């Protein structure tokens, strides 16, 4: 059995691979308020060619980022490449369990900046899912994907 720690991603090469491979991002804890990171980070990703799938029971049925919001990950109409989590650390263990019961597996789970739960990260990593902790996708994307080709085939520009 391989060492599960290889799935804990904190290096530029690993982050770049996740950002390049991803097409769909399920945003757990998506928000409707444009001043909140759980809204403007997914909006940034949409503008860069990613398909965002918002997940938040408070907004289920409402459209955010040009997609219907669902109550839970199990309610998504299709699998996501990355699950980006905007939830407090104490909820991550339950979300890890939820992710591991899905009929599909994301390639990566990304805990937003300020969010860390080593036990939840280990649980996901032991299942072969790459995990990023305590990092924001938006500045990491800006930093690592400058001048790269976007998912829609055009040249990416800084926001």
DSSP of 6-75 = GGB--SHHHHHHHHHH-SEEEEET--S-TTSHHHHHHHHHHHTTPEEEEE-GGGTTSEETTEE-BSSGGG
- The answer to the question of residue 72 being in a domain is yes
Structural domains of the chain, count: 1
CA quadruple 57, 98, 24, 77: dihedral positive or negative?
A: negative
DSSP 8-class letter at 86: -
List the structure tokens of 131.
């995990």
pTM of whole model > 0.95? Answer: no
Is position 42 within any domain? yes
**156 domain-assigned:** no
Whether the predicted pLDDT of 83 surpasses 70:
yes
Sequence-distant (≥ 6) Cβ neighbours of residue 136 within 8 angstroms: 37, 41, 112, 113
* Residues spanned by the domain of 106: 4-77+85-144
Which of the pair, 152 or 11, is modelled with greater confidence?
A: 11
Provide the pLDDT confidence category of residue 155 given band limits of 50, 70 and 90. Answer: very low
Q: What is the pLDDT of residue 14?
A: 97
Using DSSP bridges, classify how beta strands 67-68 and 108-111 pair: parallel, antiparallel or unpaired: unpaired
Mean pLDDT of 10-35: 97
CATH code assigned at 32: 3.40.50.720
The verdict on residue 151 lying in a domain is: no
pLDDT of residue 118: 97
Burial (Cβ within 10 Å: 0-12, 13-18, ≥19) of residue 70? buried
pLDDT tier for residue 146 given thresholds of 50, 70 and 90: confident
| 155, part of any domain | no
Distance CA(134)–CA(119), nearest Å, equals 14
Q: Give a yes or no: residue 153 inside a domain.
A: no
Quick one: what percent of the chain has pLDDT higher than 70? 91
Closest CA to 100 of 89, 109, 87, 91: 109
Beta bridge partners of 108: 82, 130
- pLDDT of 3-18, one tens digit each? 999 999 999 999 999 9
Look at residues 152, 154, 100 and name the one whose alpha carbon lies nearest to residue 125.
100
- 102 pLDDT tier (thresholds 50, 70, 90): very high
């Amino acid at each position: 059995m391989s060492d599960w720690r290889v799935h804990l991603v904190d290096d530029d090469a690993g982050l770049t691979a996740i950002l390049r491979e991803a097409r769909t991002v399920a945003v757990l804890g998506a928000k409707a308020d444009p001043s909140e990171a759980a809204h403007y980070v997914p909006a940034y990703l949409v503008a860069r060619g990613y398909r965002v799938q918002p997940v938040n029971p408070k907004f289920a049925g409402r459209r955010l980022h040009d997609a219907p919001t669902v109550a839970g990950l199990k309610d998504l109409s299709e699998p996501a490449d990355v699950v980006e989590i905007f939830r407090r650390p104490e909820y991550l263990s339950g979300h890890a369990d939820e992710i591991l019961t899905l009929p599909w597996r994301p390639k990566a789970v990304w805990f937003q900046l300020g969010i860390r739960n080593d036990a939840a990260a280990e649980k996901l990593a032991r299942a072969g899912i790459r995990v990023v902790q305590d990092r924001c996708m938006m500045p990491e994307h800006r930093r690592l994907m400058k001048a790269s080709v976007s998912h829609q085939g055009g040249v990416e520009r800084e926001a």
